[in-house]
Structure 1
Amino acid sequence: MTTVQKNISSTDTRSVAAEPIRVLLAAGGTGGHVYPAIAIADAVRMIQQQADILFVGTRDRMEWQAVPKSGYDIKSVWISGFHRRLTPQNLLFPFKLLTSIIQSYSIIRSFKPDIMVACGGFAAGPVGWVAAKLGVPIVLQEQNSYPGVTNRLLAKHAVTIFTAFEGAKQYLPADKIKLSGNPVRGELTTSDRQDALTSFDFDESAPVLLILGGSGGALALNNIMKEKLDELHDGAGLQIIWQCGKRYFSDLKKEIDSDDYPNLRLMEYIDDMPAAYGAADLVVTRAGAGTCSELMILGQPAILVPSPNVAGDHQAKNAASMVEAGAAVLLPEIELEKRFTTEVTALINDSGQLKKMSDAMISLAKPHAANTIAEEIFNIVQKQEV
């Protein structure tokens, strides 16, 4: 084990250990799990540049590209989720689980971590279980109001559980919970308003509506936008940035003649999110944990349309605290047809209400979540050595 300097201050980003701390992070499956883990790793490196950091994930999911691109090493385990319905893939699950446990044991014995951080996803399950059996202290980071299966199973082994939403505490051991917010990589900012408008060839003449469907797109949002586009673009005179997702972009591009909608920017994916947020007066989006955290940090008013096709209806639970605080409007997917145009046009033209919502969003924000978790990682290791 390493020797960690005592009395770590909340603002000290200098090296805090005589020897590199060794941190094992496990996260996988989706960006909602992987990017917070990368943000934690970045924060650990900010405190101690020579920290030895290793990720564990799976070869066939996005972490296998995202983690190395961020500058970290990653090892793989052979594991996948267990399907709730009977499928041929489930027949392999026991073999995958046993293999992943053996692989996890080998990784931990070789790397000798001082601490293990589990950020959710099925890859974190076997690694966390083996770490607990080998006496490695475990920290969990739960992004959603309703914890995922992996974190619920690992909770009894954890030293500390960092959560982003108050609602998560009813599903996890209350004495272990610290409300930290979701880690977000780097300095999350918006572009200057005028620069942002110019980047989309917009101006101040009309409000800007930003539709976010995520990298995969959201079918329900795309359908309602296609149906209500004339009302929003022509009737309400809005300038619109519509991120529809890769799988839907080609078909929508064929169906929608850009010449008919000069103030529409239909996009497969938005590379410059600071500009998109900087231009937007109002955002319509799903309520994934990462998106909710970004909205809070940026103080961005939003209409949230939670996906009904997620475990434990966790997106609706994510949205609840934001709606209760007056930071967002909840619009269930089943009510899109009835309420979408009315809600959007009424809100986007009410500057006073948008300002109140922005202030409420900021009041919920925890922009230093990654630093908070990183500092606690060092504190936990320090206590283990006393």
Structure 2
Amino acid sequence: MRVVLAGGGTAGHIEPALALADALRQFDPSIGITCLGTERGLETRLVPARGYELALVPAVPLPRALTPQLLTVPGRLAGAISAAGGILERVGADILVGFGGYVATPGYLGARRKGVPIVVHEANPRPGLANRLGARLTTHVFTGHPDTPLPNAEHVGIPLRKDVSTLDRFSLGDKARSYFGLESDRPTLLVFGGSQGARSINNSALNAEPYLRRAGIQVIHVIGPKNTVEVEPPPGDPQYVILPYVDRMDLAYAAADLVLCRSGAMTTAELTAVGLPAAYVPLPHGNGEQRLNAEPIVRAGGGLMVDDAELSPDWIMRNLAPLLHDPNRIAAMSEAAARMGRKDADVTLARKVLEIAAR
């Protein structure tokens, strides 16, 4: 069997595709897997690192408004569709699974042209343009959020990496804290803003650093690979560890008692899967989907939510410092978060894809 996966640009599109690829290979190591991507996306680094073939098509960003750029889209899209169709034909694709992003649109249209069955997976509660199009071309539509408004949608959750979905935070806690140079018995806050970091979260946490230390709280702060810190916190105890990027997010999750972060679909799916409570700071612009991701977790008692404009060092000290010193409340929030998680979406979606391809 030959499966082509189309999901590029951001980690939120690529990681579920790679998790599905891993699950498919677990069912049958002989399955051929090719990932469609563009030369500008993170897939150029992430896909080869996981051992899968990457085939590139031209990137065709679709304008969200009526601008002169819209006039150039049909010609560029036609070239991308032709390139995607050529890849499907070359590998002898039995099925195409799309996850959204720039590469999904030519993937869907190329598959339609070549008569290749299409599967759509949408991680977000508000689907993007590519997946809204893809859902019109197939009846095989799966979602990461139960209320995503797409026709024929079936909620399966978001496929996650095995090192996250199988993580036992509590048995790995001491080892994980040692990995980051932390003490085993101090309350630990993990701070990150997604794959690229978030300036408002970075600034608020860094400015709260002296207060967090005085409260006996140690911190792992992932600032994002493109961000810098004007003034590094001085060495001392408790530790305040600043990192540009973390490859072992499973260990970061195992080391933490609480997280301060954005509420993207992948982030909320991973934190609930591992049962880790968080203070969510939804992205203040866009279509509001990050708030929708966090709201059910907060309602269930698995997290807090604060508007980006309200986040400050004072908010962190008033809300997170007391929480980190309340193990009973942290334990209750962990259990509530875990009840919202889905650990098996990769296997569930892989079974669906194999059944559809077989038919």
Compute the TM-score of the two structures, normalised by the length of structure 1: 0.86
Match of 1:223 among 195, 203, 219: 203
The amino acid across from 2:340 in the alignment is L
Partners of 1:137 and 1:159 within 8 A in 2: no
Distance 1:108 1:192 in 2: 42
Match of 1:246 among 206, 217, 225: 225
Distance 2:89 2:77 in 1: 18
Matched, 1:328 2:308: no
In 2 relative to 1, CA 87–222 (structure 1 residues): closer, same or farther, beyond 3 Å?
farther
Partners of 1:79 and 1:93 within 8 A in 2: no
**Alignment-derived partner of residue 82 in structure 2:** 102
- 1:247 CA displacement: 2.2
The amino acid across from 1:302 in the alignment is A
In 2 relative to 1, CA 90–232 (structure 1 residues): closer, same or farther, beyond 3 Å?
farther
Q: CA RMSD in A?
A: 2.0
In 2 relative to 1, CA 107–225 (structure 1 residues): closer, same or farther, beyond 3 Å?
same
The amino acid across from 1:365 in the alignment is G
Matched, 1:267 2:243: yes
Match of 1:172 among 150, 174, 182: 150
The CA deviation string for residues 181-217 of structure 1, in whole angstroms up to 9 with x for no partner, is 1111223224622222222333245311110123311
User: Which protein shows a greater Rg?
Assistant: 1
Matched, 1:52 2:50: no
Distance 1:85 1:139 in 2: 28
The amino acid across from 2:28 in the alignment is Q
**Alignment-derived partner of residue 291 in structure 2:** 316
Which runs of 5 or more structure 1 residues have no equivalent in the other structure? 1-20
Match of 2:128 among 148, 159, 166: 148
Secondary structure of 2:5 counterpart: strand
- 1:336 CA displacement: 0.8
Match of 1:276 among 235, 252, 263: 252
In 2 relative to 1, CA 43–356 (structure 1 residues): closer, same or farther, beyond 3 Å?
same
The CA deviation string for residues 51-71 of structure 1, in whole angstroms up to 9 with x for no partner, is 122221112211122212222
Partners of 2:7 and 2:100 within 8 A in 1: yes
Which runs of 5 or more structure 2 residues have no equivalent in the other structure? none
Distance 1:68 1:273 in 2: 19
Matched, 1:72 2:48: no
Matched, 1:346 2:349: no
Secondary structure of 2:316 counterpart: helix
**For this pair of structures, how many residues does the alignment match?**
354
**Alignment-derived partner of residue 274 in structure 2:** 298
Distance 1:292 1:155 in 2: 24
**More moved, 44-53 vs 181-190:** 181-190
Distance 1:291 1:265 in 2: 21
The CA deviation string for residues 220-267 of structure 1, in whole angstroms up to 9 with x for no partner, is 101111222222222x22111111112223xx1x41342366521111
- 1:292 CA displacement: 1.2
Distance 2:330 2:354 in 1: 40
The amino acid across from 1:65 in the alignment is R
Q: Identical aligned pairs, as a percentage?
A: 34
The amino acid across from 1:107 in the alignment is I
Secondary structure of 2:323 counterpart: helix
Compute the TM-score of the two structures, normalised by the length of structure 2: 0.92
